[in-house]
Every structure is written in structure tokens, then in C-alpha cells.
Amino acid sequence: MSVAELKTKLKQVESEAVAALARAQSSQQLEELRLEFLGQKGTLTTVLRGLGLLSKEERPQVGELANLVKERIVNALSARLNELYQIELNQRLAAEAIDITLPGSGHSLGHVHPLTAVTTEITNIFYGMGFTLAEGPELETEYYNFDALNTPPDHPARDEQDTFYTSAGPQVVLRSQTSTVQIRVMEKQKPPVRIISPGRVYRNEEVNARKYPLFHQFEGLLIDRNVTFGQLKGCLNEFIRLFFGKQLKTRFRPDFFPFTEPSAELDSQCPFCLGSGCKTCGHRGWLELLGCGMVDPNVLNGVGIDPEEWSGFAFGMGIDRLTMLKYGVNDIRHFFSSDLRFLQQF
Ligand code: DAH
């Protein structure tokens, strides 16, 4: 080819390439065009090979134009590449856009069970009086559930009618009271002792609105020097004031528990009618709240604590009952039904 022909050819390639590049619709198409014009076997490369056939004098005349043409094609390529990148980016952004005005799917949060809430509340009141938390197993031996608590073998509570005996062993029972924890703590810890222990207890009872074979108790134990019944009263009166959020009259009625002497039942003035009588207190004006007393010397002797040197008080209350009173729940079975219509009210 002559110089003139090559120049014409170069210009032709340039205009073809520039036009084709401008029409390219995707970066992939652009890459194909790059190979078509600038690749090893590309149109421009082929034309440039013709340069080798020119004479030394002719070559620079075409070479200058050849470089220009190549540069313009490369520029056109990168310009279109940028444009396409922007277009493709905008398309992706539009396609993947999130509608932030749509309502979220959301996860509904649960909340604590009313029994747990009341247990925490009672626990916190006693923490405030310097008590610490103690725990014991629900599967117990008769020793901890009865013997160590000064309960004689012929006591009716030991009957199978009242207590669940298990096949885990001849003397293994589901604990019927949290008083077991008193013994477990005193075996390990030398006085002074000041603990509370909430937990599940089990009794072989027929189910009704007030009774369920599983329920919850809250135990308290304080052992120190010269502990008095007056201190027990002060401690429990303060608990009732904080739990019901008001000052209520209390009365201690003599009662019997094998592990305390003397023992008492604590009643408080009904927090709802303040004593005038209502449905909650069965028109008595008083609520029976808990059992308590001074720790029996036999119990202390049994765990190797000298009753001449140390004395103490203990108390135990039903958490389910306190929760029913506090929230006006009329059937204990609601607590265990997992019925959301009930639970969502708290
Ligand atoms: N454990 C007793 C019960 O289940 C409650 C009780 C009464 C606990 C007197 C005590 C206490 O610590 O001193 O009925």
C-alpha cells in the first residue's frame, strides 16, 4: 500500500472505531470492540503491519498519523468505558434500591413471667437488708427435706399422699419446701448467716384454683448472736411495707413448724381494703402471708452450730400466692398454662 492509501485506511479505521465504541452498550461489548480494533489480530494492528513495507523515508509520514489514530481510539475507548460504568452503576443502584419507607418486619420482645418478676422484686428487697442469695437442688433427700429440719418420721408431710417420692433412690424426694436450703447453707457456712433462697417446690396435691403440684417458695434465714423475735418482726414488717408499697398493720399468730420454736404465721392488713374487708381477703381484712419463727436449737445442733452461742430466725412464703395477691390473679393454673392471653397482661 502507498502512503496515501495507508493514511486513508487509518482514517477509515479511526472513524469506524470511534463510531462503534460510541454505540457500545455494555462494558463487555466494549471489550469485544477493543479486541476487534486494537487486539493482536485487530484492524488497526493489521494496518500498522503495512508500515513495515514502507521505505525509511515514507514510514515517519504515516507513523505520526498511526500514533495519533491509536491514541484517539484508546481515548474513545476509555471515555465510553467511563460512561458505561456510570450508566451500569446507576442501573444497579436503581435495581437494588431499598424502599426505606416500608415498615420493618420487626421482632417482638418477650418479657419476664409474672412469677419471675415478683421473685426478683422480693429478692431485691432482701438484698437491701443485707441478705445474699443461696440455692439448693429440687431433687432432695429425705434428710434435707425432713430429718435435718427436725421433722419426725411419723410427720404427715412425709406421707406419699403429700410428698413426691422418686425412683432415683429410696429416700429421694422432690423437695416440698425451700427450707432444705437452710440446712445446706449452714452445713457449709459458719455463722453469721444471712441468706434468702427462692425456688420451685413440689407437693402431691390435687389441682384446683389455689393448688398446683408445682409452686414456688421464698426462704429466708438469719443466724447471728443474740437474735431476737423483735428483729424478725422488724425485718418482715419492712419487707411488707416495701412489697405492697405502703405501711400495713401486721400480726403474728402462734403456729407450729418443726424447725422453728416459737413459730408464727404472719398476717398483714389487706392492702386492697386496708382491713375493712373485700373479695381478695375473703372479707377478713387480713391476709395470711408466710410462716416464720426462731430457728429450733435441734436444727442448729444438727449442723454443728452451738445454740448457746448462736441463734436465728427463718421465714418461708409462697411466691405464687404473693403474685396472685399483687396482681389480682384468681387461679394459680394461669401461671403454668403458657397462655399468651394471660401472660401478655403483665
Ligand atoms: N417451709 C414452710 C412451709 O413450706 C414455711 C416456713 C415456715 C419456712 C416457717 C420457714 C419457717 O423458714 O421458719 O410451709
What are the boundaries of each domain within the chain?
Answer: 3-95, 114-343
Please enumerate in sequence order all residues whose Cβ is within 8 A of that of 23, keeping only pairs 6 or more positions apart, or say none.
none
**What residue's CA is closest to ligand 1, atom 2?**
316
SS3 270: coil
pLDDT grade for 52, boundaries at 50, 70 and 90 = confident
Residues 231-259: what's their mean pLDDT? Answer: 97
Whole-number Å distance, alpha carbon 170 to ligand 1 midpoint, is 25
Whole-number Å distance, alpha carbon 315 to ligand 1 midpoint, is 6
**What residue's CA is closest to ligand 1, atom 5?**
316
Residues 32-39: what's their mean pLDDT? Answer: 92
Report whether pLDDT(249) > 90.
yes
The residue ranking higher by pLDDT, 48 or 232, is 232
pLDDT grade for 103, boundaries at 50, 70 and 90 = confident
Give the pLDDT confidence score for residue 81 in this predicted structure: 92
Residues 261-268: what's their mean pLDDT? Answer: 98
Question: For 174-228, what is each residue's pLDDT tens digit?
Answer: 999 999 999 999 999 999 999 999 999 999 999 999 999 999 999 999 999 999 9
Determine the atom of ligand 1 nearest the C-alpha atom of 149.
1
The grid cell for 82 is 467511563
Rounded CA-CA distance 247/227 in Å is 24
Of 181, 214, 232, 259, the residue with max ligand 1 atoms within 8 A of its CB, to mutate for a pocket test, comes to 259
Residue (of 133, 192, 138, 198) closest to 166 by Cα position: 138
Please enumerate in sequence order all residues whose Cβ is within 8 A of that of 49, keeping only pairs 6 or more positions apart, or say none.
none
Of 177, 313, 320, the residue with max ligand 1 atoms within 8 A of its CB, to mutate for a pocket test, comes to 177
The residue ranking higher by pLDDT, 205 or 109, is 205
Whole-number Å distance, alpha carbon 184 to ligand 1 midpoint, is 15
Question: For 1-34, what is each residue's pLDDT tens digit?
Answer: 788 888 999 999 999 999 999 999 988 899 999 9
Please enumerate in sequence order all residues whose Cβ is within 8 A of that of 18, keeping only pairs 6 or more positions apart, or say none.
72, 73, 76
Whole-number Å distance, alpha carbon 166 to ligand 1 midpoint, is 23
Whole-number Å distance, alpha carbon 292 to ligand 1 midpoint, is 6
Is residue 166 within 8 Å of residue 142, measured between CB atoms? no
Neighbouring C-beta atoms of residue 15, cutoff 10 Å? 12
Report whether pLDDT(46) > 90.
no
Whole-number Å distance, alpha carbon 344 to ligand 1 midpoint, is 32
Burial class (CB in 10 A: 0-12, 13-18, 19+), 51: middle
The residue ranking higher by pLDDT, 53 or 206, is 206
Is residue 185 within 8 Å of residue 221, measured between CB atoms? yes
List strands edge to edge, sheet with 132-133: 132-133, 193-202, 214-224, 311-318, 286-295, 260-269, 250-257
Determine the atom of ligand 1 nearest the C-alpha atom of 317.
5
Q: Within 6 Å (CB) of ligand 1, which residues are found?
A: 177, 179, 219, 257, 260, 263, 291-293, 314-316
Alpha helices by DSSP H, listed for the chain, are 3-23, 27-38, 43-49, 58-95, 114-127, 142-145, 180-188, 229-244, 297-302, 319-327, 340-343
Determine the atom of ligand 1 nearest the C-alpha atom of 316.
8
Proportion of the chain in helix, strand, coil states, percent, rounded to 5 = 45, 20, 35
Task: Give residue for cell 408431710.
Answer: 157
CA distances from 264 to 77, 145, 259, 260, 330 (A): 98, 20, 12, 9, 26
Tell whether omega for the bond before 297 is within 30 degrees of 0, i.e. cis. no
Whole-number Å distance, alpha carbon 256 to ligand 1 midpoint, is 10
What percent of the chain stands above pLDDT 70?
Answer: 100
Report whether pLDDT(283) > 90.
yes
**What residue's CA is closest to ligand 1, atom 12?**
315
Rounded CA-CA distance 255/43 in Å is 111
Say whether domain 114-343 belongs to CATH 3.30.930.10: yes
Whole-number Å distance, alpha carbon 180 to ligand 1 midpoint, is 10
The grid cell for 161 is 399422699
Task: Give residue for cell 403483665.
Answer: 346
Total H helices, total E strands in the chain: 11, 9
